[in-house]
Amino acid sequence: MAATASTAFFSVSPASDASSGKPGGNVGGLPASVDARGIRSKSVSSKTLQVKASAQAPTKVNGSRVGVMEGLKSDDQISSSPPPRTFINQLPDWSMLLAAITTIFLAAEKQWTVVDWKPKRLDMLGDPFGLGRIVHDGLAFRQNFSIRSYEIGADRTASVETLMNHLQDTALNHVKQAGLLGDGFGSTPEMCKKNLIWVVTKMQVMFDRYPTWGDVVQVDTWVAAAGKNGMRRDWVLRDYNTGEILTRASSCWVMMNKETRKLSKLPDEVRAEIGSFFVDAPPVVDEDSRKLPKLTDNSADYIQTGLTPRWGDLDVNQHVNNVKYVDWILESAPQPIMESHELASMTLEYRKECNRDSVLDSLTSILNKGQGDLADHGHVECQHSLRLNDGAEIMKGRTEWRPKRGHGVSFDQFPSESA
């Protein structure tokens, strides 16, 4: 081993050690029994060297023999013969093979998931990210919603506030998806330049059936012209699975100057932006042209005072969100009606905006009490008014109620005094 290692790295003839008079025959100051690494080698027989030489012959470069690193082996490795070649020791490393197969399957599964992705929630079918999309040749907008557990009320159905919020959300997303959203809350770029915002003046909603927890609803909305300076927006809310119409709504909007808080005409620049999205179609709810009288302390049956907006009731334009008005008018509705009836329709007229420092009164009167078709069929009609504490009216409305399944109502249950 020592001779092999020495000749591998140093050009020394084998005869020099035998004929040299120097003790031990050193190379470069090292004893003959120590190799180039300083490791003392055991003596080996010439037969062993011959076996090693025949097992692994040194390579030649330009006619000279050169050593290789594999030549630096222990005596046990040299003297022992290699194991016989069998079928077992020629098999591949099974752990590495298993790891390679697992990697291939994981990569294939990932690729298949990307190519053949399918939504796992019903409310995401046809709308993978719940953002909605433009439909009907660009003239309408559609968005799906899943009714959450926190959006239902004591009747185990979606609250009126929930449905109204879905209508408002689709209206804003329609403007956004159409590329008309400026810096304002639903305002177009030209409206933002002129400090204009949209305000609702009238809304009519028909509730045919209320969805329940876990139902998926599909909302379609579109816009149309309303006179010279207004815009009408319609909604149809359906059951996603059956296509049954659950809610229909129609509303009228006008423009207000954000700084002066006064109504404004529809500028030509804004009309050019939104005119191509107008649909020539009648409203989904027939207009209720009946006059809504103003309620007073004497004509109202129920009055709730001291209502104040909270910070969460304000929108980005710093006035109360129109959905909050619906909550306020129901504050003065009699409890027996709320327990035995459900809201079938409502007509709302917005007269004045409400600010964060306002204090309001909610007034309700019951119409056709004890007489007429509504009472005979168990239906109840109410009239509502919201006013500031200084007497200025900000909204008035009319609601119709139908009996809940398995419930009836007696007008003798209503207290005679105002709440």
Residues noted as catalytic: 317, 319, 354
Half-sphere exposure of 33 (CA within 13 A, CB side): 7
**Given CA atoms 127, 128, 131, 137 in this order, what sign does their dihedral have?**
negative
Half-sphere exposure of 328 (CA within 13 A, CB side): 29
**H or E segment and range at residue 387:** strand 380-388
Residue 172 near residue 166 (C-beta atoms within 8 A): no
CA angle 323, 419, 396 (to 5 degrees): 35
First CA to last CA distance, the chain? 111
Tell me how far apart the alpha carbons of residues 198 and 264 are, in angstroms, rounded to a whole number: 10
Residue type, 193: K
CA angle 237, 240, 245 (to 5 degrees): 40
Q: How many CB atoms lie within 10 A of CB 101?
A: 10
Dihedral Cα 255, 258, 262, 263, nearest 10 deg: 0
Residue with structure tokens 């909603």?
205
Tell me how far apart the alpha carbons of residues 306 and 294 are, in angstroms, rounded to a whole number: 19
Helix (H, G, I), strand (E, B) or coil at 344: strand
The residues, ordered by sequence, that sit 6+ positions from 331 with a Cβ below 8 Å of its Cβ are: 304, 307, 362
Instruction: Tell me the Cα Rg of the chain.
Output: 44
Counting every residue, how long is the chain? 419
Residue with structure tokens 């709440």?
419
